[in-house]
């Protein structure tokens, strides 16, 4: 069954809008989670100074698309400005900007998000078919293969330096959840660690643990001196079995670390 996941995040602690209400809360863990939300632990895990897979963004014109909108909590049909984003590893996606923006603003938003998504590893982009951008301050999220963005909240994250990390978190829901979040190997790693990396992961262990841990793994394994030795040690001591699980997947991480 296809699942839809729309998640909003705020600095220091991710806040769920819909999609995780049935998750059990796991109590009596030997140690509390060391972090609140891993998308916010360091703004230098992914930066515009890093290598990128972004190649081009092309204007396709206007049209209409069915898109989820956090403001209404449902899918609606919207007039949109359309763009095609190509990456250097043969991946591409459609970027749709709600026509509540004028064409110049839409082009600026398309360029901004195309370049930010180009920083994400191949494994997080491979199942992302589209990005849908609306106005407003509601959260970013994932809806099947579509990345949902509300521009005011995205701008807040950009100014804080964590937009790329939030996009990576949401892209995990698009590209990795189906194959890994409920796999026997991941569940075994959870049981071995007996601890969660963040309060958000602990609160929603079935739906957020993978995305939260991936963000920490991205920092500890791939950010180099983008994070402190203290933070790296904290992550590695908290969830070693999960980190080993992610290591063993041999994900295509292009362009990260290049």
The last residue of a domain, from among 132, 163, 194: 163
Q: Is residue 255 a part of any domain in this protein?
A: no
Considering the domain architecture, whether residues 70 and 120 belong to the same structural domain is answered as yes
Q: Give residue 80's pLDDT.
A: 98
The last residue of a domain, from among 105, 131, 163: 163
Give pLDDT tens digits along the chain (258 positions): 334 454 444 333 332 222 333 443 444 445 899 999 999 999 999 999 999 999 999 999 999 999 999 999 999 999 999 999 999 999 999 999 999 999 999 999 999 999 999 999 999 999 999 999 999 999 999 999 999 999 999 999 999 999 999 999 999 999 999 999 999 999 999 999 999 999 999 999 999 999 999 999 999 999 998 899 999 999 999 999 999 999 999 999 999 999
Considering the domain architecture, whether residues 115 and 141 belong to the same structural domain is answered as yes
Q: Is residue 254 a part of any domain in this protein?
A: no
Q: Is residue 113 a part of any domain in this protein?
A: yes
Q: Give residue 23's pLDDT.
A: 44
Considering the domain architecture, whether residues 30 and 59 belong to the same structural domain is answered as no
Give 16's contacts (C-beta < 8 A, 6+ positions apart): 7, 8, 203, 204, 208
Q: Give residue 21's pLDDT.
A: 38
Q: Give residue 29's pLDDT.
A: 45
- How many structural domains compose the chain? 2
Least Cα distance to 7 among 229, 210, 186 occurs for 210
Q: How far apart are CA 106 and CA 132, in angstroms?
A: 11
> 184 near 168, Cβ under 8 Å?
no
Considering the domain architecture, whether residues 125 and 29 belong to the same structural domain is answered as no
Considering the domain architecture, whether residues 23 and 72 belong to the same structural domain is answered as no
Considering the domain architecture, whether residues 141 and 66 belong to the same structural domain is answered as yes
Residue 253, classed as helix, strand or coil, is coil
Q: Give residue 25's pLDDT.
A: 42
Q: Is residue 3 a part of any domain in this protein?
A: no
Considering the domain architecture, whether residues 158 and 94 belong to the same structural domain is answered as yes
Considering the domain architecture, whether residues 106 and 202 belong to the same structural domain is answered as no
Q: Give residue 88's pLDDT.
A: 98
Q: How far apart are CA 221 and CA 161, in angstroms?
A: 20
Considering the domain architecture, whether residues 40 and 134 belong to the same structural domain is answered as no
Least Cα distance to 73 among 31, 17, 23, 30 occurs for 17
Q: Is residue 1 a part of any domain in this protein?
A: no
Q: Give residue 31's pLDDT.
A: 82
Q: Give residue 18's pLDDT.
A: 27
The last residue of a domain, from among 142, 163, 184: 163
Q: Is the bond preceding residue 255 a cis peptide, omega within 30 degrees? A: yes
Q: How far apart are CA 152 and CA 172, in angstroms?
A: 22
Q: How far apart are CA 38 and CA 209, in angstroms?
A: 10
Determine the structural domain holding residue 109 and report its residue range: 54-163
Q: How many CB atoms lie within 10 A of CB 180?
A: 16
């Amino acid at each position: 069954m296809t699942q839809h996941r729309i998640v909003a995040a705020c600095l220091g602690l991710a806040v769920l809008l819909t999609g995780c209400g049935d998750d059990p809360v796991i109590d009596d863990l030997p140690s509390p989670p060391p972090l609140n939300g891993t998308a916010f632990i360091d703004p230098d895990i992914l930066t515009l100074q890093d290598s990128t897979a972004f190649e081009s963004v092309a204007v396709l014109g206007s049209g209409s698309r069915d898109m989820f909108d956090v403001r209404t909590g449902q899918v609606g049909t919207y007039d949109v400005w359309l763009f095609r984003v190509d990456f250097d590893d043969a991946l591409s996606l459609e970027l749709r900007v709600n026509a509540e923006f004028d064409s110049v603003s839409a082009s600026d938003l398309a360029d901004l998000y195309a370049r930010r998504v180009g920083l994400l590893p191949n494994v997080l982009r491979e199942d992302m078919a589209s990005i849908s951008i609306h106005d407003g301050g509601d959260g970013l999220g994932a809806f099947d293969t579509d990345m949902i963005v509300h521009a005011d909240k995205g701008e807040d994250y950009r100014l804080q330096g964590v937009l790329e990390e939030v996009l990576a978190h949401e892209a995990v829901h698009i590209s990795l959840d189906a194959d890994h979040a409920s796999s026997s190997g991941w569940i075994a790693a959870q049981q071995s660690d007996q601890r969660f990396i963040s309060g958000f992961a602990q609160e929603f262990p079935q739906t957020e643990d993978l995305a939260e841990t991936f963000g920490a793994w991205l920092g500890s394994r791939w950010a180099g001196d983008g994070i402190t030795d203290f933070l790296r040690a904290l992550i590695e001591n908290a969830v070693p079995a999960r980190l080993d699980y992610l290591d063993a997947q041999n994900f295509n991480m292009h362009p990260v670390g290049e």
